[in-house]
Chain A
């Protein structure tokens, strides 16, 4: 079956611009997670959605980062006024009832 998909696969933007990254979770998965991985670093948790509950935003690094999940399915991670330190691979994962998480291929963001 179809796995988690993310778009775009690569995004190059200029410092100060806003970007939107999209995640399509596995159909029927109620939980969705965003992580980021800077070059040579481990994965860093950003935000977590579970059903209709309030999201866990504890990992968002600043108020320039936000995410929403519409209709309990697709999620969009938005970074406003991008900075060079935002350059990373942004990974999305989904799970059924917070069980095993399955990851997408990621979006590589480069801020010039």
Chain B
């Protein structure tokens, strides 16, 4: 699976949009971009995934560049409960294990 690069940490004001970037310049044509988050002392939580089109669900939006070498996870109105480590993972859709990097620590501040 392709490797990803994320900033180690980010801060966001409560109520504002949180934009979390991820670089995956070696992504293959059949690999999806998955986002998970892990709130302290909990198991990872699935957020969203996509192949090449932008995706939106009740939690977030995923914007993937046309060349698919990078993506941005958008939390439209961040709350204090969104403080977590956010992981960007590239994986074939029906692959086996997930390979987690270090992720981005998002701190939402009031």
Q: List residues of A whose CB falls within 8 A of some B CB.
A: 4, 31, 33, 35, 42-43, 45, 48, 50, 56, 59, 91, 93, 97-106
In whole angstroms, what is the CA distance A105 to B94 when docked? Answer: 23
B55 at the interface (CB under 8 A from A): no
B81 at the interface (CB under 8 A from A): no
- In the complex, what's the smallest C-beta–C-beta distance from A109 to chain B, in angstroms? 14
- In the complex, what's the smallest C-beta–C-beta distance from A49 to chain B, in angstroms? 10
In whole angstroms, what is the CA distance A100 to B55 when docked? Answer: 15
- In the complex, what's the smallest C-beta–C-beta distance from A5 to chain B, in angstroms? 11
Chain A residue nearest to B102 in the complex (CB)? A42
The number of inter-chain residue pairs (CB within 8 angstroms) is: 49
Chain B residues within 8 Å of chain A by Cβ, number? 18
Residues of A close to B98: CB separation below 8 A? 33, 35, 43, 45, 93, 101
B68 at the interface (CB under 8 A from A): no
**B97 touching A33, Cβ below 8 Å:** yes
Given contacts A42-B102, A42-B103, contact A59 B46 (CB under 8 A): no
**B97 touching A106, Cβ below 8 Å:** no
**B97 touching A100, Cβ below 8 Å:** no
Q: List residues of B whose CB falls within 8 A of some A CB.
A: 34, 42-46, 49, 93-103
Given contacts A42-B101, A42-B102, A42-B103, contact A98 B96 (CB under 8 A): yes
20 A/B residue pairs, CB under 8 Å, sorted by A: A31-B96, A33-B96, A43-B44, A43-B100, A45-B97, A48-B97, A59-B97, A91-B43, A91-B44, A93-B43, A93-B44, A93-B98, A98-B96, A99-B93, A99-B94, A101-B98, A103-B44, A104-B43, A105-B43, A106-B43
Which of B49, B101, B103 is A100 in contact with, Cβ under 8 Å? B49
In whole angstroms, what is the CA distance A100 to B50 when docked? Answer: 11
Residues of A close to B46: CB separation below 8 A? 100-103
Residues of A close to B49: CB separation below 8 A? 100
Residues of B close to A56: CB separation below 8 A? 96-97
Residues of B close to A43: CB separation below 8 A? 44, 98, 100
Residues of A close to B45: CB separation below 8 A? 103
